[in-house]
Each structure stands twice: as structure tokens, then as C-alpha cells.
Amino acid sequence: MSVVVATRDRPELLRRAIDSIVAQRYDGPIEVVVVFDRSDPDRSLERSSDDRAVRVIPNRATPGLAGARNSGIRAAEGDLVAFCDDDDLWLPNKLAAQAARLDEDPSLELVTAGVLVDFNGRISARVLDRERISHADLLRSRVSEAHPSTFVARRAAVIDGIGLLDEQLPGSYAEDYDFLLRAARRHDIGVVTLPLAKVFWHRSSFFAGRWQTIVDALDHLQAVHPELASVPAGLARIEGQQAFAHASMGNRRAAWTTARRALGRNRREPRAWLALAVGTGLVRSEWIVRALQAYGRGI
């Protein structure tokens, strides 16, 4: 098992993440590949034993999360490869449960699991009630319960079939959704219906407030996945996110136009209505984001 941890300037959180990986109740060997993105590698993290090892490498690909993960995947030596964000941690049985799921069903190439979202100490469980995610599911919804810190994939399938992370996505935003869409084109994604990772949301999250990046990345996502346009409610969700981003930047005309387009596809799309509320100037976008995060949700 190879675990890729992309990191940038979060040394204390990184050590917590590594400790949770090394402490896994997993019978096989685990190597942790820590990829330093736009920061100097900390060689003091390296360790080696018969069944647990930590390696440190620089990001040799495009700067950003997608490139860092790709550097780790290329350097990985395990048959299975997993991701863990540097500010998250794993529960002790995570790898054992997901490796067992892959063993049980050789057709699966990627397995995910539920998460516990911790926002300022308030914990919300996000767990799916089904054991598979289809491509059709992902066209309708991001399926946010499938968090990248729970991804475990067969490395050969990633290299030779699914493909590496898309380094062209602006700011690497939605690189996990893009990866899920490509994986699900080939096979359903397996799910362990238990929370197996703890995800921490905080103000230092790198995407907080990067509204133009979100707009640009979602444009790119639609361009490389034209099938998203085949499901009106799913496309309305994406346009609702863009409308909210425009409203958050004060681009009222763009917010209004994009929100109307989203509501034309799905009158019940909540992000579009929230964008209109922010566009009035009476509601601040950070209030909405903070309220949603308190319940383990996001825009």
C-alpha cells in the first residue's frame, strides 16, 4: 500500500496525518510518500522499517495539488495507492476495510468511504447508504461523501486506465471530482459504508475565498466532461456554484445571469437561490459558507 500525502506549509498537521497512516491496523506493508509542493522537503519525516516507511520527495510536476499527487503516484511502489490530505487523519481500520473491499470484488478499481467532518470541533458524519457509486450518480451529484482522503485505487488502473490527476484544472479545484468521473466511466466505484477518515475544515483551507479559480475550474470541468450537460439538475448544481462564486466576488450581473440559467434547468437548485441572496448585498457569502460548514456541507 502506497499513501500519497501532498503537503505545503502545514508541518504540525502533516505529522498528525502521517502518524494516523503509520498506525493503521493493516497487515501489509505501508509506504507513505510525502510530496512537498512549492516548499522545501522536510527530511526529518523519513523513517523506515520492515512494514512501515515514510519517503519525502519534491513535487516534480505542475505546481499544485494535482501535480503533487501525480508525483506521488509515479513514485509509489505499492500495488494499491491511496490519498490523504495533509490536514486530515485516518481512523485505525481504514486501510484494512478498503483493501478487503477490493479483495472481495476484483472488478473494482477505486474504493471510497465515509468521513467525519470536523468544523471548529463540531463533527458531522457524511456516509453513503449504498455500496457503489455509478457514473450516472456523479453526473447528478458530486457525491461529497466520497472525499479524496478516502480514495484507495489499484495503481495499475490509475496509470493505465483512469489516468493521473488533471494538472490543467485551475488551482487543482475539483480534481477529485474529475478523477471520480473518469474512474466511474470505466467501472462503478466501491464504497465502504462507514466513516473511515476525519476531515478538518478550517479557514486555512487553500480554496477558501478563491472564487475566480472556482469559476474557471468548473468551466474546464464542463469542457472535459461534456456529458455533464446531459443531466439538467447536475449541470444546474455546477452553474449554481459558479453563480455563488460570482456573487461572492461582487459580479452581480454574472451572478444573476448564471443563477437564472441554473434555475431554468432546476428551479429547486439551492446554490442559485443563495447566489441571488448574496447578490442583493443583504447576505454575505462567508456567513452562508460558515453555516453550511458547521453541518458538514459546502457550496
Confidence (pLDDT) at 198: 97
Average pLDDT, the chain: 95
CATH of 2-201, one of 3.30.950.10, 3.90.79.10, 3.40.30.10, 3.90.550.10: 3.90.550.10
Q: Is 90 left (phi over 0), alpha (psi -120 to 50) or beta?
A: beta
Residues in the chain: 299
Q: What DSSP state is assigned to residue 164?
A: S
- pLDDT tens, 18-41? 999 999 999 999 999 999 999 999
SS3 153: strand
Extents of the domains making up the chain: 2-201, 231-293
Determine the Cα angle at 84 with ends 96 and 31, to 5°.
Answer: 65
Name the percent of the chain lying above pLDDT 70.
98
Confidence (pLDDT) at 204: 47
- pLDDT tens, 191-207? 999 999 999 987 545 45
Q: Parallel, antiparallel, or unpaired: how do β-strands 2-7 and 80-83 relate?
A: parallel
Helices 211-224 and 232-248 cross at an angle (nearest 10°) of: 160
Confidence (pLDDT) at 208: 55
Confidence (pLDDT) at 206: 45
- pLDDT above 90 (res 15): yes
Alpha-carbon distance of 139 to 231, in angstroms, equals 7
pTM of this structure: 0.94
Outline where the chain has alpha helix (H): 11-22, 65-75, 94-104, 135-140, 155-157, 175-186, 211-224, 232-248, 252-265, 270-279, 285-293
Alpha-carbon distance of 130 to 87, in angstroms, equals 27
- pLDDT above 70 (res 17): yes
Alpha-carbon distance of 104 to 132, in angstroms, equals 13
User: What integer is the mean pLDDT of 260-268?
Assistant: 98
